[in-house]
């Protein structure tokens, strides 16, 4: 039997790359960003200090809280839309098609990520323009033209382009692993398809559904491209506010305050979501 300390060294060796990666590319930048939020800007240069001026100024501004609420609202709405739109497709891929078709479907869902997100957003810019393809099709039906660009609707469309394929994939993988005997038992007990979905499929696939929704929220909350190019950047989300703040007198410390607030918000939401996803009801 191998000595205990040899096993610990072996385990640590395999964990070390992950620990180094997390330290270099997550913990260290986060610590620096938190420290920078206490710096001061004098004559357009950052000066090392430990002052709460940046925090007090940003938290006392109405435009900061307006952007915060807007970012939360848009991300939450995108999460609800993506989860609702993805579920029927994921259910069909998990239970109504063969394994081969499911694999091909997941492959095609991954393909959009081969293309730059910015390129896809500019494609939607052309589609949603007042003289674009969407209004052209609606015009043949005697509708429109509608103003779709520079609206919250366009921003949500951009969020869907970013997150919807990923949500479908995560939901599909989760539901495809559900024990089919549970569904058969529900049918044998007289449950219809809707009752089976609500009582069996959703609870059994809860982890995948919540993780998919969480990824959608995180990506939407931190996205800059869609609210800037499709939403018109007015009113600004927190990501746009960071850019505007850095352009205003090189106020990188105040931008760091916004970024740290976003990170803290996402950590709280992610922790709560994961805890709920893996929480098991006590008998």
214: domain CATH number is 1.10.3720.10
Question: Which residue range(s) make up the domain with 181?
Answer: 52-278
Question: In 10 A of CB 63, how many CB atoms?
Answer: 12
- Specify whether 61 is located in the same domain as 21: no
Confidence of residue 281 (pLDDT cuts 50, 70, 90): low
167 assigned to some structural domain: yes
- Specify whether 161 is located in the same domain as 223: yes
CB 153 within 8 A of CB 166: no
Of the ranges 1-10, 47-56, 169-178, 191-200, which one carries the lowest mean pLDDT score? 1-10
pLDDT of residue 6: 58
Q: Which residues pair with 45 in a beta bridge?
A: 42
Confidence of residue 1 (pLDDT cuts 50, 70, 90): very low
- Specify whether 32 is located in the same domain as 65: no
- The average confidence (pLDDT) of the chain is 90
145 upstream amide cis, omega within 30 of 0: yes
- Specify whether 237 is located in the same domain as 109: yes
Asked if the model's pLDDT at residue 283 lies above 50, the reply is no
47 assigned to some structural domain: no
CB 208 within 8 A of CB 274: no
SS3 at position 41 = strand
Give the pLDDT confidence of 35-86 residue by residue, as tens digits: 999 999 888 788 888 889 999 999 999 999 999 999 999 999 999 999 999 9
42 assigned to some structural domain: no
How many distinct structural domains can be found in the chain? 2
Question: In 10 A of CB 158, how many CB atoms?
Answer: 26
- Specify whether 128 is located in the same domain as 204: yes
CA distance 29 to 22: 10
SS3 at position 116 = coil
- Specify whether 189 is located in the same domain as 73: yes
171 assigned to some structural domain: yes
The contacts found for 104-113 with CB under 8 angstroms, 24 or more apart, are 105/172, 106/169, 106/172, 106/173, 109/165, 109/168, 109/169, 110/165, 110/169, 112/161, 112/165, 113/165
- Rounded to two decimals, what is the model's pTM? 0.90
Closest to 264 measured CA to CA, from 23, 25, 18, 33: 33
């Amino acid at each position: 039997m191998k000595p205990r300390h040899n096993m610990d060294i072996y385990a640590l060796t395999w964990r070390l790359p992950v620990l180094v990666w997390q330290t270099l590319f997550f913990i260290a930048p986060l610590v620096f960003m938190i420290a920078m939020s206490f710096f001061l800007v004098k004559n357009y240069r950052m000066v090392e200090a430990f002052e709460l001026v940046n925090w007090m100024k940003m938290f006392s501004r109405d435009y900061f809280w307006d952007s915060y609420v807007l970012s939360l609202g848009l991300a939450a709405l995108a999460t609800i839309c993506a989860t609702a739109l993805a579920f029927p497709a994921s259910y069909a891929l998990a239970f109504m098609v063969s394994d081969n078709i499911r694999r091909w479907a997941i492959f095609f869902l991954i393909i959009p990520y081969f293309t730059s997100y910015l390129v896809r957003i500019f494609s939607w810019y052309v589609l949603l323009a007042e003289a674009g393809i969407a209004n052209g099709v609606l015009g043949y039906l005697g509708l429109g033209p509608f103003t779709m660009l520079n609206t919250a609707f366009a921003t949500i469309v951009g969020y869907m382009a970013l997150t919807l394929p990923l949500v479908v994939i995560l939901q599909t993988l989760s539901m495809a692993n559900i024990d089919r005997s549970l569904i058969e038992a529900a049918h044998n007990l007289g449950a219809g398809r809707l009752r089976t979905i609500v009582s069996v499929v959703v609870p059994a696939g809860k982890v995948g559904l919540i993780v998919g929704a969480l990824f959608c929220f995180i990506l939407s909350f931190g996205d800059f491209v869609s609210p800037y190019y499709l939403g018109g950047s007015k009113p600004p989300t927190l990501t746009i506010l960071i850019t505007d703040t850095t352009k205003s007198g090189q106020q990188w410390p105040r931008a760091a305050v916004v970024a740290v607030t976003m990170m803290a918000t996402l950590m709280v939401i992610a922790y709560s979501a994961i805890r709920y996803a893996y929480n098991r009801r006590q008998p």
